[in-house]
Amino acid sequence: MTTALYDLTVPVFLRGFHAMSGFLAKGEAFAAEKGLDPAELLNARLIEDMAPLTGQVQRASDSAKFTVVRIGGIENVAMPDEEASFADLQARIARTVAFLNAAPREAIDGKEDAPVTLTTPRGSFDFTGRSYVLNFVLPNFYFHMTTAYALLRHKGVPIGKMDFLGGI
């Protein structure tokens, strides 16, 4: 039995954003309870050359969106990286989820061998749909989701593995 490319992407992202929304809500509640300026969490970084919490959520969003754009040929919805509050991040997640929910399965399934080119400032990288999802997109999405989780955890937000997993 084969697994459809859609099943490896959209439902995975939706579950991840559900979990991310939950641990961000706990981060916001923690800041309020402790009297912390939310910016302390929103601007938290593991190290100076890494993106802060806001950037981690933005990159997870971009990873998911660009998967259906590049593989499914779906028109992108621009989302400028202007989020500066927990409410902004939740809105970004909601817009990303709506975009993913609108992606038709038939635009993604059957594209396992379709060429996908990723162009970055470091150059262009050629993939098939399958290798793009398995070797770039999923690791990248989970990298940013994990980093967002780790930033909150490092700052003392009481979240655990089940928060990351989204309450399976």
Full domain range(s) for residue 131: 5-160
Domain-located, residue 64 = yes
Residue 79: φ, ψ to 5°: -135, 90
What is the structure's pLDDT at 34? 97
Domain-located, residue 166 = no
Question: Residue 66 belongs to a domain with what CATH number?
Answer: 1.20.120.450
In this structure, are residues 96 and 61 in contact, taking their beta carbons and an 8 Å threshold? yes
pLDDT tens by residue, the chain, 168 residues: 566 999 999 999 999 999 999 999 999 999 999 999 999 999 999 999 999 999 999 999 999 999 999 999 999 999 999 999 999 999 999 999 999 999 999 999 999 999 999 998 999 999 999 999 999 999 999 999 999 999 999 999 999 999 999 876
What is the structure's pLDDT at 168? 62
Domain-located, residue 71 = yes
Residue 136: φ, ψ to 5°: -125, -60
Number of folded domains in the chain?
1
Domain-located, residue 14 = yes
Cα distances from 30 to residues 20, 34, 168, in angstroms, run: 15, 6, 23
